[in-house]
Copies of this chain bind each other. A is one copy, B any other.
Amino acid sequence: MDAIVPFDAVDPKRRLSSVLEPDERRAFAGAMLADVLDALAETAASTRVVATAPIDLDVPVAVDDRPLTVAVNDALAGGDLPTAVVMADLPLVTAAALDRLFAAEGDVVLVPGVGGGTNAVVVRDGAFHVDYHGCSIRDHRRIAAEAGLSTATVDSFGISLDVDEPADLAEVVLHGRGVAASWLGDHGVAVTTDDDGRVGVDRTPRD
C-alpha cells in the first residue's frame, strides 16, 4: 500500500488561533504529522508527504502549493493503486487502526472525520477522485457511487478525530500518547471540566 499524507507547512490549523500563536500552530501541526508518520511507519505502507512548502522529514516529500484537492488528485494520478490518503492532523491514529483501514475491502474505503470531513481514504480504482471542499464525506460517497465503485467505511475514533478546533485538543490531551500530546503538555495546554461535565482546554502560562 502506498500512502500520501498532505501537509500544510505554511499556515496550518487557523482555527486554533485562539489558543496557539502562528509559530506554535506550525510546530503543533508538525507534531501531529510526526504522530501520523510514526503510525504509518509501523505498517507496511510506503509513505510520501505532499507539502505546501519544503519540510525536512524521514520520508519522501513532494512540494505542491496548490489547493489540497488538486494536489492530492495529482499525486493519486501520478502513483500506483491502491493508495491511501491520510490526513496529517490525526494525533490519535494508531498502526492498528491503519492496518484495519488497509485491510478493508472495497474500491474506495472511507474514514469520516468528525464534522463531515474525510480523514482517510483508500483508493483502489482510478475512476475515483477526491474533493475535500465542504462536507467531503458526502461528496466522496457520491463520487464513488456515480462511478459505480464499491465503498466501505472503517470505524476508528483514532482516525476520525482530526484536530481543527480548540475543543479537539482536549481529546489529544486525554488520549494521545505521541508527539502532539507531549507538545501540548509541554506548552501548558490542559483539560478543564465545567459544571455540566463538558471538557475544554485551558492554557497555563509557563515560567
Q: Which of A's residues lie within 8 Å of B, judged by CB? A: 15, 94, 96-97, 112, 114-117, 133-135, 137-138, 153, 155-161, 167, 170-171, 174-175, 191, 193, 196-199
Copies in the complex: 2
Give the dominant DSSP class at A's interface: mixed
A155 engages B197 (CB within 8 Å): no
A112 to B117, CA, bound (A): 21
| A62 smallest CB distance to B (angstroms) | 24
Cβ-neighbour of A199 out of B115, B157, B167, B196 (below 8 A): B115
Cβ-neighbour of A157 out of B133, B155, B174, B196 (below 8 A): B155
**Residue among A156, A157, A167, A171 with the highest chain B CB neighbour number at 10 A:** A157
B193 engages A135 (CB within 8 Å): yes
